[in-house]
Chain A
Amino acid sequence: MSNPLDHVDQLSVWLKDAGLALLELRGPSATLRLVNDGASVHALEGEESPPVDAPSTTVRTPSLGIFLDRHPLHERAIAFPAANVRAGDPLGFLQIGPLLLAVPAPQAGTVTDVLVVHGTVVGYGAPLFVLRPTEGETS
Chain B
Amino acid sequence: MIKVLSAGALATVQDLGRTGGLNLGVGISGAMDPLALAGGNILLRNEENAAAIEVPVLPFKVRFERSTVFAVTGADCAARIDETPVLPWWAHRAQAGQVLSLALPRQTTWRATRAYLCIAGGIDVPAVLGSRSTQLRGSFGGHEGRPLRDGDELPPGRSNGRAAPGFGLVPPGLELPLETDDVPAVRVLPAAEYDCFTNSSHDALWSTAWKITPQSDRYGYRLAGRELNLLRPLELRSHGIVPGVIQVPHGGQPIIQMRDAQPSGGYPKIGTVIEADLWRLGQAPIGSSVRFIRCSWDQALGASADIRRWLANARRLVELHCGEGGGR
> Which of A73, A95, A102 meets B110, CB within 8 Å?
A73
Is B169 located at the chain interface by the 8 A CB criterion?
A: yes
A90 and chain B: residue at smallest CB distance: B87
> Which of B87, B172, B317 meets A71, CB within 8 Å?
B87
CA A104 to CA B106, docked complex, whole Å: 24
- Quick check: B314 and A99 within 8 Å, CB to CB? yes
- Quick check: B76 and A96 within 8 Å, CB to CB? no
- Quick check: A100 and B109 within 8 Å, CB to CB? no
Interfacial chain B residues near A98, Cβ < 8 Å: 169-170, 172, 175, 310, 313-314, 317
- Quick check: B109 and A72 within 8 Å, CB to CB? yes
- Quick check: A96 and B88 within 8 Å, CB to CB? no
For chain A, residues 62 to 79, give those with C-beta under 8 angstroms from any C-beta of chain B: 71-75
Is B321 located at the chain interface by the 8 A CB criterion?
A: yes
- Quick check: A75 and B172 within 8 Å, CB to CB? no
Q: How far is the CB of A21 from chain B (nearest CB, A)?
A: 23
Interfacial chain B residues near A95, Cβ < 8 Å: 170
- Quick check: B169 and A99 within 8 Å, CB to CB? yes
Interfacial chain B residues near A15, Cβ < 8 Å: none
CA A74 to CA B314, docked complex, whole Å: 21
- Quick check: A101 and B109 within 8 Å, CB to CB? no
- Quick check: B88 and A71 within 8 Å, CB to CB? yes
Interface centre among A72, A73, A93 (most CB of B within 10 A): A73
Contact flags (1/0) for B74-103 with A, using CB distance below 8 Å?
001000000000011110000000000000
B173 and chain A: residue at smallest CB distance: A73
- Quick check: A100 and B169 within 8 Å, CB to CB? yes
CA A75 to CA B317, docked complex, whole Å: 25
For chain B, residues 165 to 179, give those with C-beta under 8 angstroms from any C-beta of chain A: 166-172, 174-175
Contact flags (1/0) for B278-322 with A, using CB distance below 8 Å?
000000000000000000000000000000001001100110010
Interface centre among A74, A97, A100, A101 (most CB of B within 10 A): A100
For chain B, residues 109 to 168, give those with C-beta under 8 angstroms from any C-beta of chain A: 109-110, 166-168
CA A72 to CA B73, docked complex, whole Å: 13
> Which of A73, A90, A93, A97 meets B88, CB within 8 Å?
A73
Classify chain B's interface size.
20 to 34
- A102-B108 contact given A73-B88, A96-B317, CB 8 Å threshold: no
- Quick check: B170 and A101 within 8 Å, CB to CB? no
Interface centre among A97, A98, A99 (most CB of B within 10 A): A98
CA A97 to CA B313, docked complex, whole Å: 8
CA A122 to CA B269, docked complex, whole Å: 51
B168 and chain A: residue at smallest CB distance: A100
- Quick check: A100 and B76 within 8 Å, CB to CB? no
Interfacial chain B residues near A99, Cβ < 8 Å: 167-170, 314, 317-318, 321
- Quick check: A101 and B321 within 8 Å, CB to CB? yes
Interfacial chain A residues near B89, Cβ < 8 Å: 73, 100
B169 and chain A: residue at smallest CB distance: A98
B166 and chain A: residue at smallest CB distance: A102
CA A26 to CA B205, docked complex, whole Å: 66
- Quick check: B167 and A73 within 8 Å, CB to CB? no
Interfacial chain A residues near B110, Cβ < 8 Å: 73
CA A75 to CA B76, docked complex, whole Å: 12
CA A93 to CA B169, docked complex, whole Å: 11
Interfacial chain B residues near A90, Cβ < 8 Å: 87
CA A67 to CA B170, docked complex, whole Å: 13
CA A21 to CA B44, docked complex, whole Å: 37
- A72-B174 contact given A98-B317, A99-B317, CB 8 Å threshold: yes
CA A49 to CA B90, docked complex, whole Å: 37
A74 and chain B: residue at smallest CB distance: B108
A96 and chain B: residue at smallest CB distance: B317
Considering the complex of A and B, which 6 residue pairs feature the smallest CB-CB distances, nearest first? Answer: A100-B168, A99-B317, A73-B76, A98-B314, A75-B108, A98-B170
What are 15 A-B pairs with beta-carbon distances under 8 A? A71-B88, A72-B170, A73-B106, A73-B108, A73-B171, A73-B174, A90-B87, A98-B169, A98-B172, A98-B314, A98-B317, A99-B168, A99-B318, A100-B167, A101-B321
A72-B109, A97-B314 are known; give 12 further A-B pairs, CB within 8 A: A71-B88, A72-B170, A73-B174, A74-B76, A75-B108, A90-B87, A97-B317, A98-B317, A99-B318, A100-B90, A100-B170, A101-B321
